[in-house]
């Protein structure tokens, strides 16, 4: 397959272990397909336990020298990695669109966003400050230092094939940890291209390793192996819980970024046009396939019809098609199961009284495109109230009072992102504090940035990524009591 890249070395179809490129021991491979047309575009190794163990051992061997470097030395190397991502952003974006489907502009945007974590953590690694605690005893001094956790494992999803990796690898490496990564089987090429650039940047052999293949078997080794001291996972809640269970015997540190069910509340005092713009941004990014995409619009009665009508009009304008085509803003969904889930949720809502005001069906009989959809007259008994849609469907629920809106918004097992639009300052504080979520967008539909803590509560997981909190996840606290002064 011709990827039509400027630099063909970015297409890697082997695992990256200990600074070398490897096939699976068994010789087995895994097909990578383009969701826009089902074409097989590459094959990567279907590796298992032995390869994973080898990668962990390489990461263990690389740890002492990497940890011993100063943060500034590590930062200089990471900075080169950052620069290479930006230099190749068009190629990396194209590669991503081909394996994942998102529109080229969004894909290139993700490379820039993904790179931002590397630049930011390269610098933040220099600020892993400790503490001196004022002594309660005359002949003692108490000092706290921060040290790298050690060998870390990461398992990442297909919806952000670059950024979900850099958001874990950058803080880990900046802190002085080494890493073994298992990327999603649907999008390994973006991950392997990152490894190629890591090598070019001068990241030493064994510091950053990638194993592609059997999720279950690789996952088990990453969890069971006592050398691995931490696991960072982004993906579904059931898999996150399984990994947590598997990590219990070796008691690993965990960061889990799991599913969401984001509410987007529009109050009577909101700027409705701004709310519609924020709604489009939060709902339709990546064709609705992000864990912070709005799942439920919760709209006050007085502005419900106006908001519904304006949102439907803007939604109908979104151009659906192959992400490589100019002006396409909605790519295909990732696979047939994703489209079937969207169809199932819409048909459930319809059977319980919802109205489709725009969209509601596939673009064509074959293919993974779905028309951006708006549903009104939603009620809490419908499946969408509790299940993550992960597709381009806006579902509008109605409420009367502020208390009712908060209760509706919090009525979910999840607690990742929430959004609301209001101008009354008292309400902004009240609602912001009352929402049981890790992140709240107030009068904005875009919250992701490398400088702020990303993460959830309840069944959406634990730990934070990005910001100085994200660095802490890869640092241990050591307290040293010095006596005998
Ligand atoms: P999604 O719905 O986003 O595909 P998953 O949780 O299934 O969510 O996938 C996220 C990541 O978890 C992917 O890299 C996938 O390969 C991996 N994964 C899935 N099942 C397991 C498992 N049993 N053990 C380890 N990793 C897994």
Q: How far is CA 116 from CA 129, 162, 164, 196, 342, in A?
A: 22, 11, 12, 18, 33
* 103-118 pLDDT per residue, tens: 999 999 999 999 999 9
How far does the centroid of ligand 1 lie from the alpha carbon of residue 170, in Å? 21
DSSP label at residue 400: S
Ligand 1 site, residue 187, Cβ cutoff 6 A: no
Q: 125-158 burial, b if ≥16 CB within 10 A, otherwise e?
A: beebeeeeeeeeeeeeeeeeebebbbbbbbbbbb
Protein residue closest via CA to atom 14 of ligand 1: 184
Please, what is the average pLDDT of the chain? 98
* Amino acid 410: pLDDT: 98
Ligand 1 site, residue 185, Cβ cutoff 6 A: yes
* Amino acid 302: pLDDT: 98
Q: Is the pLDDT of residue 119 over 90?
A: yes
pLDDT band at 366 (very low <50, low <70, confident <90, very high): confident
Q: What ipTM describes this predicted complex?
A: 0.98
Pocket probe for ligand 1: among 52, 159, 215, the residue whose CB has the most ligand atoms within 8 Å is 215
* 172-200 pLDDT per residue, tens: 999 999 999 999 999 999 999 999 999 99
How far does the centroid of ligand 1 lie from the alpha carbon of residue 389, in Å? 17
How far does the centroid of ligand 1 lie from the alpha carbon of residue 335, in Å? 15
How far does the centroid of ligand 1 lie from the alpha carbon of residue 432, in Å? 32
Q: Taking residues 79-83, what's their average pLDDT?
A: 98
How many beta carbons lie within 10 A of that of residue 380, not counting itself? 11
* Amino acid 84: pLDDT: 98
Ligand 1 site, residue 231, Cβ cutoff 6 A: no
Q: Is the pLDDT of residue 72 over 90?
A: yes
* Amino acid 485: pLDDT: 95
How far does the centroid of ligand 1 lie from the alpha carbon of residue 42, in Å? 20
Q: Is the pLDDT of residue 86 over 90?
A: yes
Spatial separation of the C-alpha atoms in residues 51 and 483, rounded to whole Å: 47
How far does the centroid of ligand 1 lie from the alpha carbon of residue 237, in Å? 10
* 142-167 pLDDT per residue, tens: 999 999 999 999 999 999 999 999 99
Does the global pTM surpass 0.95?
A: yes
Spatial separation of the C-alpha atoms in residues 442 and 350, rounded to whole Å: 31
Ligand 1 site, residue 461, Cβ cutoff 6 A: no
Protein residue closest via CA to atom 17 of ligand 1: 215
pLDDT > 90: what percent of the chain?
Answer: 99
Protein residue closest via CA to atom 27 of ligand 1: 215
* 8-39 pLDDT per residue, tens: 999 999 999 999 999 999 999 999 999 999 99
Q: Is 402 a catalytic residue?
A: no
Protein residue closest via CA to atom 18 of ligand 1: 215
* 318-359 pLDDT per residue, tens: 999 999 999 999 999 999 999 999 999 999 999 999 999 999
* Amino acid 289: pLDDT: 98
Closest ligand 1 atom, residue 218 Cα: 25
* 210-268 pLDDT per residue, tens: 999 999 999 999 999 999 999 999 999 999 999 999 999 999 999 999 999 999 999 99
Ligand 1 site, residue 156, Cβ cutoff 6 A: yes
Q: Is the pLDDT of residue 424 over 90?
A: yes
Pocket probe for ligand 1: among 35, 52, 239, the residue whose CB has the most ligand atoms within 8 Å is 239
* Amino acid 40: pLDDT: 98
Q: Active-site residue among 106, 257, 450, 473?
A: 257
The residues, any chain, with a CB within 8 Å of residue 431's CB and separated by 6 or more, are 265, 402, 405, 406, 420, 422
In sequence order, what E strands does 235-300 have? 253-257, 262-266, 294-300
How far does the centroid of ligand 1 lie from the alpha carbon of residue 387, in Å? 18
* Amino acid 460: pLDDT: 98
Ligand 1 site, residue 235, Cβ cutoff 6 A: yes
pLDDT band at 365 (very low <50, low <70, confident <90, very high): confident
């Amino acid at each position: 397959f011709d990827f039509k890249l400027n630099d063909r070395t970015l297409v890697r179809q082997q695992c990256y272990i200990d600074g070398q490129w490897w096939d699976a021991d068994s010789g087995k491979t895994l097909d990578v397909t383009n969701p826009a047309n089902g074409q097989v575009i590459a094959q990567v190794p279907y590796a298992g336990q032995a390869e994973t163990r080898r990668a962990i051992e390489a990461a263990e061997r690389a740890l002492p020298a990497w940890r011993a470097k100063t943060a500034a030395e590590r930062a200089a190397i990471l900075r080169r990695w950052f620069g290479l991502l930006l230099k190749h952003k068009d190629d990396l974006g194209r590669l991503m669109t081909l394996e994942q489907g998102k529109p080229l502009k969004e894909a290139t945007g993700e490379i820039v966003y993904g790179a931002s974590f590397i630049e930011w953590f390269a610098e933040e690694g220099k600020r892993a400050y400790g503490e001196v605690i004022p002594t309660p005893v005359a002949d003692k001094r108490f000092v706290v230092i921060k040290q790298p956790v050690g060998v870390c494992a990461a398992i990442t999803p297909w919806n952000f094939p670059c950024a979900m990796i850099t958001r874990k690898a950058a803080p880990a490496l900046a802190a002085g940890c080494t890493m073994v990564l298992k990327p999603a089987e649907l999008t390994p090429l973006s991950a392997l291209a990152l490894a190629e650039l890591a090598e070019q940047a001068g990241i030493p052999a064994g510091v950053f390793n990638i194993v592609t293949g059997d999720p279950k078997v690789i996952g088990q080794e990453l969890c069971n192996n006592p050398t691995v001291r931490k696991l960072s996972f982004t993906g579904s809640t059931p898999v996150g819980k399984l990994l947590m269970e598997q990590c219990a015997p070796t008691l690993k540190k965990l960061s889990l970024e799991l599913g969401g069910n984001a509410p987007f509340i529009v109050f009577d005092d909101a700027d409705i046009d701004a709310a519609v713009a924020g709604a489009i941004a939060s709902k339709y990014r990546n064709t609705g396939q992000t864990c912070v995409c709005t799942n439920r619009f919760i709209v006050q009665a007085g502005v419900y019809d106006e908001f519904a009508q304006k949102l439907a009009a803007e939604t109908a304008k979104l151009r659906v098609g192959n992400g490589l085509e100019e002006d396409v803003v909605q790519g295909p969904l990732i696979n047939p199961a994703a489209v079937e889930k969207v169809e199932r949720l819409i048909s459930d809502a319809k059977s319980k009284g919802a109205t489709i005001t725009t969209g509601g069906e596939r673009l064509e009989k074959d293919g993974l495109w779905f028309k951006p959809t708006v549903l009104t007259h939603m009620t809490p008994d419908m499946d969408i109230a509790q299940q993550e849609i992960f597709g381009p469907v806006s579902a509008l629920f109605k409420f009367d009072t502020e208390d009712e809106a908060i209760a509706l918004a919090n009525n979910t097992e999840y607690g990742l992102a929430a959004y609301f639009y209001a101008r009354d300052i008292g309400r902004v504080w009240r609602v912001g504090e009352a929402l049981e979520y890790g992140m709240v967008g107030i009068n904005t539909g875009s919250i992701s940035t490398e400088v702020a803590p990303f993460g959830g509560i309840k069944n959406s997981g634990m730990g934070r990524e990005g910001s100085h909190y994200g660095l802490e996840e890869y640092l241990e606290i050591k307290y040293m009591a010095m006596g005998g002064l």
